[in-house]
Chain A
Amino acid sequence: MRDALQYEWVRLKTLRSTWWLTGLTLAFSVLSGLFALGLRNKPVTVTDYGDMLTGGQGTIDFLLQILLGMIGVFAVGHEYRYGTIRPTLSAIPRRSRLMAAKVIVISGFVLAIAILCHVLRYLMTVLIVGEPFRRLGLFPGPMGRVWFGVCVYMVLFALVGLALSSLFRNIPAAIVILIVFPLVAENIIRGLLGLSVFSSIKGLAKVLPFSAGSQIYAYTPLDSTTPTGFREIPSPYVGLTIFIVFLGLVLGLAWLLFEKRDA
């Protein structure tokens, strides 16, 4: 297993795309830290802290998730795109060992980058806002969970990318699904489930995997303007569990097919 981990680490670090994706992730992270400029000379709230952590209502974070998710997609997708899967499996013929090494290395790498992103944002905010922000402490209110959530969600998101690219053996297909499903498909389904005709099954909106998973770093309470279908959300840890089950299913299927199919 050590050899397989070593292989995967060398594969990852000798790939140019790893470093431009990492660079872009860190750059966007630092840019989103400029959000703190709007907090100067006014009282800082816990919600402001949440905005700092997630780049403001999660929009920037979705971009970071996609960038890090692509590192997951490339982990297997490149092997098929460039035909390196055969030399790779000639070097590591035990396929489960190879897949496990990819999951471990990608998880570790994405987790490290995710933590670095949020440390950078935190430092920028402290630098820009200064004392009022520092007075809130490191984990005010639910922010310990949000800190944990944004980092863990990014890792799980990248692993979904890895699983999808293994399943489809196709980089564009994996990336499109990774973007369209959470950003478009789930919102359409959620909107439809909000219609009165679907009222008996509106609870299904709770198990939409990406929306459920993202609850782990949610910190904004619902208000009266939230549409019906969007009110059906699980609690943070139930949502995280739903997302982990979803990842387990996709990765499990990908793993099974990786074992069974011709290389």
Chain B
Amino acid sequence: MASSAYRLQGSGMIEAVGLAKTFGARKAVDGLSFQVQPGVVTGFLGPNGAGKSTTMRLMIELDRGDGLTKFAGQRYRDIERPMRRVGVLLEAKAFHPTRTARNHLRMLAAANAIAPKRADDVLALVGLDSVADKKPKSFSLGMGQRLGLAAALLGEPEVLMLDEPANGLDPQGITWLRDFLKAYAAAGNTVFASSHLLAEMQLMADHLIVIGRGRLLADTTIGEFVARSSHTTVVVRSPESARLTELLAGRGAEVAVEADGMLTVTGMTQEQVGDLAFAERVLVHELTTRVATLEEAFLEVTAGEEEFGQSGGPS
């Protein structure tokens, strides 16, 4: 993919209020409210069936439901030429198989009075310039995803809303996407992206919105999200581990003794453990915080919120 080129934007805050959608008796989205700020990448997480895609469709009123979403103060349908303000990628391979990639983009460009030449620019940006005149019926999932991303970028929007943009991309494509979206947000734009690739999201996102069964579970920075996890622990090595264990337990911390004698402490910060050891004159050789991975924190927060849970391991 080519190097990114985009204009400086700003003020494209997204504000969703009371989004709700039911399919029969099932609530797919249940009174969801959140804000997405410009200048950062906001990740949108949730287990399968949590309602992420439905939420995104509700936001731009492709699905009919309750609630309201405003993009920089305007409903999507009220934005004249919306592709110039909000770039949307909802699914890969949403194109006619025999219409060339260039014509697909020119068609969408025509709907928002975007110069046809812009189609070539975005095709080059996403690395599809060599197949611009090819029929996309033979495109891989990753190529389809790039074409969808090119469509989202056509109008040089200040808001990007992407559903699983890394899906099907090769490692180089994922790295490019991460760098691109971070830089795009850093230029003052708003980037709101869902992904099930948690390791990737940990590298890319600054802020997280986590949902389960259509309800908001977390709306916080990625740092706070993982710090709050019980998997974020303090690891202590001390020649007086038995005494230290007793002292920590007395302060309400949970302490596990590892096989190598290391103590894993939950419920106290690194500073609190250090202060206690100093005050009680306990010798400490090592004191570190082991931050939970996004995956650990996510699994903890969404435990019991899966729409399609597994019944057990392989037999």
User: CB within 8 Å of B: which residues of A?
Assistant: 3-4, 6-7, 9-11, 14-17, 78, 82-84, 86-94, 260-263
Contacts and interface: CB of A to CB of B under 8 A. Distances in A.
B90 A14 contact: no
B96 A15 contact: yes
Given A10-B107, A87-B151, A92-B111, A262 B96 contact: no
28 contacts: A3-B81, A6-B110, A9-B110, A10-B103, A10-B106, A11-B107, A14-B103, A14-B106, A15-B99, A16-B98, A82-B94, A82-B96, A83-B93, A84-B96, A86-B62, A86-B90, A87-B94, A87-B95, A88-B111, A90-B60, A90-B82, A90-B88, A91-B82, A91-B108, A93-B60, A93-B82, A261-B64, A262-B63
A235 B91 CA distance: 51
Contacts of A83: 91, 93-94
A92 B91 CA distance: 17
Contacts of A90: 60, 62, 82-83, 88, 90
B243 interface: no
B76 interface: yes
Contacts of B64: 260-262
Contacts of A92: 111
Interface string B142-157: 0000001001000000
B251 interface: no
A91 B62 contact: no
B220 interface: no
Given A9-B110, A14-B104, 11 more contacts: A6-B111, A10-B103, A15-B96, A15-B99, A82-B97, A84-B94, A87-B88, A90-B83, A91-B82, A91-B111, A93-B61
Nearest to B92: A83
Contacts of A82: 94-97
Question: Which of B88, B94, B97, B107 is the most central at the interface, judged by chain A CB atoms within 10 Å of its CB?
Answer: B107
B62 to A, nearest CB: 4
Chain A at the B interface: SS class: helix
Contacts of B112: 3, 91
Interface of B: 57, 60-64, 76-77, 79, 81-83, 88, 90-91, 93-100, 103-104, 106-108, 110-113, 148, 151
Contacts of A17: 98
Contacts of A6: 110-111, 113
A112 to B, nearest CB: 20
A119 B98 CA distance: 31
Nearest to A92: B111
Contact of B111 (A7, A78, A261): A7
A263 B62 CA distance: 5
Nearest to A87: B94
B111 A14 contact: no
Contacts of A89: 62
B43 to A, nearest CB: 21
A70 to B, nearest CB: 15
A10 B111 CA distance: 9
A149 B60 CA distance: 43
Contact of B77 (A4, A94, A262): A94
B162 to A, nearest CB: 12
A226 to B, nearest CB: 46
A87 B79 CA distance: 16
A14 B99 contact: yes
Nearest to B77: A93
Nearest to B90: A86
Contacts of A4: 111
Nearest to A9: B110
A78 B111 CA distance: 17
B60 to A, nearest CB: 6
Contacts of B103: 10, 14
Given A90-B82, A261-B64, A3 B96 contact: no
A6 B112 CA distance: 9
